[in-house]
Structure 1
Amino acid sequence: MNIKDLQYFLAVADLEHFGQAAEQCFVSQPTLSGQIKKLEEQLGVVLFERTNRRVMLTETGSQIATYARRVMSEIESIQEIAESSRDPLAGKFRLGAFPTLATYVFPDIVTKVKKVMPKLRLILIEDKTLFLMDKLRHGEIDAALLALPVHDDYMVSQELFEDEFCLAVAPDHKLASRDTVDQKCLKKHKLLLLEEGHCLRDQSLEICERQGLAEEQDFRATGLETLRQMVKAGTGITFMPKIAIQENEAGIKYIPFTEPVPKRTIGLVWRKTSARKDVMEKLVEALQVVSDH
């Protein structure tokens, strides 16, 4: 068994098609099929169920695929370590961020990182916090932009900036005439929130619990832009992170809160065992510039 065998095996497992897998691996289909057959003979098991219409993993094949992915991930890590040792600020770097942040910071991050680390190949991943933490633990990403604090003994974090919340209301809402708003005056109102799994929802719910606010139960948005449009439509009011506020936006008013201002702390999170410390330092510098901008 060699690395090529595992690459061929995983390609077929992912694509469920020998022809497409062969194209992806830049080999002929007979070559790929032959190597898969040899691998099955070597292991003494059947890895795939083959029919005229589809190819799919057997139960044993599925179990083996799990370990094969781990092996390939470790091999990739070895290659990355070797590459970064030759040039610590080069190679591939996978950075994650949760949806209510990624949309607004990723474009600036790409520009800033290219200036300070031109040889670094930045790969950006947008996902919910729970999944980003899981990817971090399993080495599928190198770092993530998350709301602090993060409670994990295997992680280290660096605070980057604080993102204050404003109250978003429609222009004809009775609160729209205010220049500032106190959280306590919202008790008679229901807030529009994101669906389960978004950290912004959890942050908003914490504020609601402290102030005795209620959530609008009949609607939960899948994303921040949907939430914005629902406010414009007069469906309700919501908390909007300052980083997501657009200047001179029609059909909506953002009202700053009086002290204490609700906010979230954004930080860079990575594994304590990461070999990319030099990149982390440069990245923190670049991200702090992004937040100032």
Structure 2
Amino acid sequence: MAALPTLRQLRYLVALDDHRHFGHAAEACAATQSTLSAGLQELEALLGASLVERTKRRVLMTPLGEEVVVRARQLLRDAEEISALVRSAAEPLSGPLRLGVIPTVGPYLLPKVMPHLRNQHPNLRLYLREDLTARLLERLASGDLDLVLLALPYRADEFEFETLFDDPFLVACPPKHPLAQERSDAVTLAAEEDLLLLEEGHCLREHALAACHLSMPPGKPGGVQERMLATSLTTLVQMVACGLGVTLLPRMALDSGILAGTDLVSRSLGRDAPARTIGLAWRASSPRKAEFRLLGEAFKKFYEEH
């Protein structure tokens, strides 16, 4: 039987492809640079082919090396999932779990639910990554993340999604603003105001507009006149507090006290208040689906009870 590459050798190759620098790749693998370099040379000798093009200024992958890296990533991901499968069978929600979370959910839900998770699952080691939805799902697809907590809907065929709960939108405005009177046509009135939103790329922006049946083109009937865009919900609140307009906020953020320190008030958008849906996403091939659903139930139960 022909000798096969080791997982360590493949991990070295993938790290070098990620960092394109021997020192940085070695650091990522918790190895010395000489150990990583020797491991890669052994891999090339084993395969009888050159995978890395070394120069004094930069590191490049040969065309064959690029193909090997793609397969190496998949092999490493499969090996990690084998380990995770065995671990989850012995004790669900134990060991490392890499969770991605969008910035309009993470700061408002996780600080409240984390103590509960630590109490119920003391051997769970949760590593968090906060980013925009598209980038989180890229990391999920590549195997850098195990699970993503996000707002739905989001179209991506390679993932499975689990719906957890609805998070209603409310209007935040100054206390003397007409919207503060809780008019039944609050959604229509909000469309006529300067509605302040998050910048492009934040899914809450699209979900809020869709939920309220508002459109983006300025100057058109039903459109939104945008003068400023914010990068966070906290910035949106401060802009509203300065009298620049009104905004839509999810109840999750309001329950976490995001209006504290301002005189702003929040008002419902009516009897059938629009909402965004919070859920989880994981790779369809993941062997940890039962664990992820268990974690989702914990998020759902905590939100409903608090």
Q: Which runs of 5+ in 2 are unaligned?
A: none
* Structure 2 match to 1:266: 278
CA distance in 2: counterparts of 1:257 and 1:28, whole angstroms: 59
CA distance in 1: counterparts of 2:18 and 2:156, whole angstroms: 32
CA distance in 2: counterparts of 1:150 and 1:237, whole angstroms: 26
Q: Which runs of 5+ in 1 are unaligned?
A: none
Deviation at 1:104, TM superposition (A): 0.8
Q: Normalised by the size of structure 1, how large is the TM-score?
A: 0.83
* Structure 1 match to 2:147: 143
Alpha-carbon contact 2:169-2:208 (below 8 Å) kept: no
Alpha-carbon contact 1:176-1:253 (below 8 Å) kept: no
Deviation at 1:48, TM superposition (A): 3.0
What CA deviation, in whole Å up to 9, does each residue of 1:107-142 have, x standing for no partner? 223222112222222222323233344444554433
CA distance in 2: counterparts of 1:154 and 1:27, whole angstroms: 34
* Structure 1 match to 2:266: 254
Q: Percent identity?
A: 34
Match of 2:247 among 204, 227, 238: 238
Further displaced range: 282-291 or 142-151: 142-151
Alpha-carbon contact 2:97-2:146 (below 8 Å) kept: yes
CA distance in 2: counterparts of 1:109 and 1:262, whole angstroms: 24
Deviation at 1:167, TM superposition (A): 0.9
Is structure 2 residue 187 aligned with structure 1 residue 175?
no
Alpha-carbon contact 1:160-1:288 (below 8 Å) kept: yes
Match of 1:80 among 79, 84, 93: 84
State the SS of the aligned residue for 2:214: helix
Deviation at 1:255, TM superposition (A): 2.1
Residues 252, 49 of structure 1: alpha-carbon distance in 2 compared, 3 angstrom cutoff? farther
Is structure 2 residue 52 aligned with structure 1 residue 47?
yes
Deviation at 1:183, TM superposition (A): 1.3
CA distance in 2: counterparts of 1:76 and 1:44, whole angstroms: 27
Match of 1:69 among 69, 73, 77: 73
Alpha-carbon contact 2:196-2:227 (below 8 Å) kept: no
Alpha-carbon contact 2:162-2:293 (below 8 Å) kept: no
* Structure 1 match to 2:237: 228
Alpha-carbon contact 1:148-1:265 (below 8 Å) kept: yes
Aligned residue identity for 1:219: M
Alpha-carbon contact 1:95-1:122 (below 8 Å) kept: yes
Aligned residue identity for 1:241: P
Alpha-carbon contact 1:110-1:122 (below 8 Å) kept: no
Aligned residue identity for 2:269: F
State the SS of the aligned residue for 2:189: helix
Deviation at 1:241, TM superposition (A): 0.8
Residues 180, 95 of structure 1: alpha-carbon distance in 2 compared, 3 angstrom cutoff? farther
* Structure 2 match to 1:56: 59
Aligned residue identity for 2:49: G
Residues 269, 12 of structure 1: alpha-carbon distance in 2 compared, 3 angstrom cutoff? closer
Further displaced range: 230-239 or 1-10: 1-10
Alpha-carbon contact 1:186-1:213 (below 8 Å) kept: no
Residues 270, 9 of structure 1: alpha-carbon distance in 2 compared, 3 angstrom cutoff? closer
Residues 22, 158 of structure 1: alpha-carbon distance in 2 compared, 3 angstrom cutoff? closer
Residues 124, 227 of structure 1: alpha-carbon distance in 2 compared, 3 angstrom cutoff? same
Residues 48, 208 of structure 1: alpha-carbon distance in 2 compared, 3 angstrom cutoff? same
What CA deviation, in whole Å up to 9, does each residue of 1:239-275 have, x standing for no partner? 1111112264414222222223121122234455542
Residues 157, 21 of structure 1: alpha-carbon distance in 2 compared, 3 angstrom cutoff? closer
Residues 277, 17 of structure 1: alpha-carbon distance in 2 compared, 3 angstrom cutoff? closer
Q: Normalised by the size of structure 2, how large is the TM-score?
A: 0.80
CA distance in 1: counterparts of 2:263 and 2:112, whole angstroms: 26
* Structure 2 match to 1:284: 296
Q: How many aligned residue pairs are there?
A: 290
CA distance in 1: counterparts of 2:27 and 2:286, whole angstroms: 34
